[in-house]
Amino acid sequence: MIPFLDLKGINTHYRTELIEACTRVIDSGWYIQGNECKEFEKEFAQYCGTKYAIGVANGLDALILILRAYKELGVMKDGDEVIVPSNTYIASILAISQNNLVPVLVEPDNNTYLIDSTKIEEKITSKTKAILPVHLYGQTCEMDKINEIAKKYNLKVIEDSAQSHGAYFKDKRSGNLGDASGFSFYPGKNLGALGDGGAVTTNDEELANAIKALGNYGSHKKYENLYKGINSRLDEIQAAMLRVKLKYLDNEVEKRREIANYYLQNIKNDKLILPTVREQNNHVWHLFVIRITKRDKLQKYLLDNSIQTLIHYPIPPHKQNAYKEWNKESYPISGQIHNEVLSLPIFGIQSIGNTKNIVQVINEYR
């Protein structure tokens, strides 16, 4: 079986260094809020090109804490609206709801599957306070257009960078393309920990300080609580794992690009639609997503030929039970995308033999 993702293989590749880093933490006797997290924050901020990075417990918390901090700083209040794409992983939307803010869904572009910047303005009301673009599958959104709209209406721009570590838009990286950005280091992401992890990046000092406190019980100083905060911290072991893997992230992305380019150049089957790439630098290929009308049939055919694929995502947010209030609304582009997408295996250590085999099997599909 060709696996969709070989996490064990990926981490085994860094085994010696990961064990060294782990040993360093064990022997330090310091497991939360120590040197590893501090150093990772510095290194990750530098990688993204931002002034600040704050380690948090996971990607969902990163987004929750950004919005929460804006509320504490008086930028947003209960009932305000945040614009978000209608096709995204549910976490982007949950972060808005959890803050008693209202998610306003905007349909994606039918080719890139990214939020359609031409449809944002019509959804802006007097309550709109932010746009939350998601760099879905690893390709950055049209950030020049989105930032222009945000400037015109005085909105914050919060990137969901959970799938786009290292991706560029023009000369800046994901994480440095708006006012603040949330990252996930879930094990399967392009930069993955060996457990849960996340980070916020920003150039806004006041926001960075508020997030740092909010993720630590609302406290900068032990037993003094500025806010009614939560506990959301990146632990020392995960920070140490991430410091090892961050060094190889660009290499990982380069290998993913090679596989993606091979797919793009060699998959030839007019039954399916290949991904639309605006620019090579903009895409880090967290997922290689093809489209086909009879998706489930192709998925079964590939499985019968020992190729594992996944669907990102089978049910659109507006059809989820969690958002019953939207179940009757219509987002036809999102609906169709969710019915037709299929993600092919793609990760740095995928062998060229497997990549060629996948292409051949797909090309023989009738």
Ligand X SMILES: *Cc1c(COP(=O)(O)O)cnc(C)c1O
Quick one: which of 86, 92, 147, 355 contacts ligand X (CB under 6 A)? Answer: 92
Q: What is the dihedral of CA 35, 205, 115, 290, to 10 degrees?
A: -20
Question: CB 162 → ligand X: shortest distance, Å?
Answer: 3
Q: How many CB atoms lie within 10 A of CB 326?
A: 18
Question: CB 55 → ligand X: shortest distance, Å?
Answer: 12
Q: What is the DSSP string of 204-265?
A: -HHHHHHHHHHTBTTEEETTEESS---B---BHHHHHHHHHHHTTHHHHHHHHHHHHHHHHH
Check residue 59 for interaction with ligand X (CB under 6 A). yes
# binding residues, ligand X (CB under 6 A): 15
Question: CB 157 → ligand X: shortest distance, Å?
Answer: 16
Question: CB 358 → ligand X: shortest distance, Å?
Answer: 23
| Distances from the Cα of 108 to the Cα of 48, 114, 141, angstroms | 26, 5, 10
Of 142 and 355, nearer to ligand X (C-beta) is: 142
Helix (H, G, I), strand (E, B) or coil at 146: helix
Of 182 and 345, nearer to ligand X (C-beta) is: 182
Stretch that binds ligand X, among 11-19, 85-93, 100-108, 295-303 (CB under 6 A): 85-93
Closest CA to 75 of 201, 176, 210: 210
What the block records as the tokens of 98 is 């959890």
Binding flags for ligand X, 26-55, as an x/- string (CB under 6 A): ------------------------------
Check residue 99 for interaction with ligand X (CB under 6 A). no
Site for ligand X in 313-332 (CB under 6 A): none
Check residue 89 for interaction with ligand X (CB under 6 A). yes
Q: How many CB atoms lie within 10 A of CB 46?
A: 12
Q: What is the DSSP letter of 75?
A: S
**Amino acid occupying residue 73:** L
Spatial distance between the Cα atoms of 183 and 197, rounded to a whole number of angstroms: 9
Check residue 58 for interaction with ligand X (CB under 6 A). yes
Please report how the helices 15-28 and 35-48 are oriented relative to each other, as an axis angle in degrees rounded to 10: 130
Quick one: which of 88, 99, 112, 147 contacts ligand X (CB under 6 A)? Answer: 88
Question: CB 182 → ligand X: shortest distance, Å?
Answer: 7
Q: Spot the catalytic one: 156, 189, 212, 245.
A: 189
Phi, psi of 235 (to 5 degrees): -75, 165
Quick one: which of 72, 160, 204, 236 contacts ligand X (CB under 6 A)? Answer: 160
| Distances from the Cα of 96 to the Cα of 35, 44, 63, 322, angstroms | 32, 25, 8, 13
Q: Is 189 a catalytic residue?
A: yes
Of 155 and 162, nearer to ligand X (C-beta) is: 162
Quick one: which of 5, 10, 84, 91 contacts ligand X (CB under 6 A)? Answer: 91
Site for ligand X in 165-224 (CB under 6 A): 184, 186, 196, 198
Quick one: which of 25, 45, 162, 207 contacts ligand X (CB under 6 A)? Answer: 162
Check residue 137 for interaction with ligand X (CB under 6 A). no
Q: What is the DSSP letter of 107?
A: P
Check residue 84 for interaction with ligand X (CB under 6 A). no
Residue partners of 163: CB distance under 8 A and separation at least 6: 134, 135, 136, 137, 138, 189, 190, 286, 287
Question: CB 331 → ligand X: shortest distance, Å?
Answer: 17
Closest CA to 136 of 168, 107, 164: 164
Q: How many CB atoms lie within 10 A of CB 102?
A: 16
Stretch that binds ligand X, among 8-16, 158-166, 240-248, 256-264 (CB under 6 A): 158-166
Of 134 and 208, nearer to ligand X (C-beta) is: 134
Check residue 60 for interaction with ligand X (CB under 6 A). yes
Which of the residues are catalytic?
A: 189
Which residues contribute to the site for ligand X (CB under 6 A)?
Answer: 58-60, 88-89, 91-92, 134, 160, 162-163, 184, 186, 196, 198
